[in-house]
Amino acid sequence: MRIRLYSIVAMAGMILMLAGETFAQSYDYSIYNNDPEEIYSGGAPRGRYRGLSKVPRTTVTFADNYRPGDIVINTTERRLYYVLGDGQALRYGIGVGRIGFTWSGVKTVTAKKEWPDWTPPPQMLRRRPDLPRFMKGGEDNPLGARAMYLGSTLYRIHGSNEPETIGEAVSSGCFRLTNEDVIDLYDRVKVGTTVYVLR
């Protein structure tokens, strides 16, 4: 009986080991190679994979004092709400600005771009002169799959290839979602959408 139990435990261990190797092979490590100094993540822990948000997108009860189609960002909660109306909203997990980079106000979505290029603004280059001056849009670009630009500010709602940073204070003032979530939101949002940023 004891030998049979040891055999079962050993077999289970081998299955878990093989599953772990397969899972590890599915990770895309290129984001590490392209960000050795953590310059795109704002010093946040770098992810070892691209995947779903640890904060699942869900429909929730929401205040009626916003119009359907409005976006409400609660930086304290680290959540973005897309207002559906009838007391409901879609809630997304987001990464927000780290200490010293949070802000609040009312803005408008003035532009939308798929797989946007990234040009670090002068303010960021002064802080980090080692940053590239330009990055072509694509899977390794820190803006991710989609970007929605907020007024005349430098801030955006954009995607990220680092799902583990969702729910964290990691950015220079932008709001990041997983690529899956930002694509979902992007398809709902129109240029001219009002964005309320609360602290």
| pLDDT surpassing 60 at residue 20 | no
Mean pLDDT of 162-172: 92
| pLDDT surpassing 80 at residue 8 | no
pLDDT category of residue 18 using cuts at 50, 70 and 90: very low
Q: What is the DSSP string of 73-141?
A: EETTTTEEEEEEETTEEEEEE-BEE-TT----EEEEEEEEEES--B---HHHHHH-TTS-S-B-SSTTS
Lowest mean pLDDT among 45-49, 81-85, 122-126, 148-152: 45-49
| pLDDT surpassing 80 at residue 11 | no
Task: Check residue 12 and give its pLDDT.
Answer: 45
CB 120 within 8 A of CB 132: yes
| pLDDT surpassing 80 at residue 105 | yes
Query: How far is the C-alpha of 62 from the C-alpha of 83, rounded, in Å?
Result: 8
Our CA angle for 131, 134, 136, nearest 5°, is 125
Quick check: is 158 catalytic? yes
Task: Check residue 35 and give its pLDDT.
Answer: 38
- State the chain's maximal CA–CA distance in angstroms: 73
Q: Which of 57, 146, 158, 176 is catalytic?
A: 158
Task: Check residue 51 and give its pLDDT.
Answer: 57
Tens digit of pLDDT for each residue in 43-77? 333 433 355 678 899 999 998 899 999 999 999 99
Quick check: is 24 catalytic? no
Query: How far is the C-alpha of 92 from the C-alpha of 112, rounded, in Å?
Result: 18
| pLDDT surpassing 80 at residue 10 | no
| pLDDT surpassing 90 at residue 15 | no
Q: What is the DSSP string of 2-61?
A: HHHHHHHHHHHHHHHHHHHHHHHHH--THHHHT-TT-TTTTTPPPPSS----SS--EEEE
Written out in words, the top-level CATH class of the domain with range 30-198 is mainly beta
Domain ranges of the chain: 30-198
Q: Which of 135, 150, 170, 174 is catalytic?
A: 174
Six token digits for residue 141: 């670009």
| pLDDT surpassing 70 at residue 187 | yes
| pLDDT surpassing 50 at residue 25 | no
pLDDT category of residue 9 using cuts at 50, 70 and 90: very low
Mean pLDDT of 141-163: 94
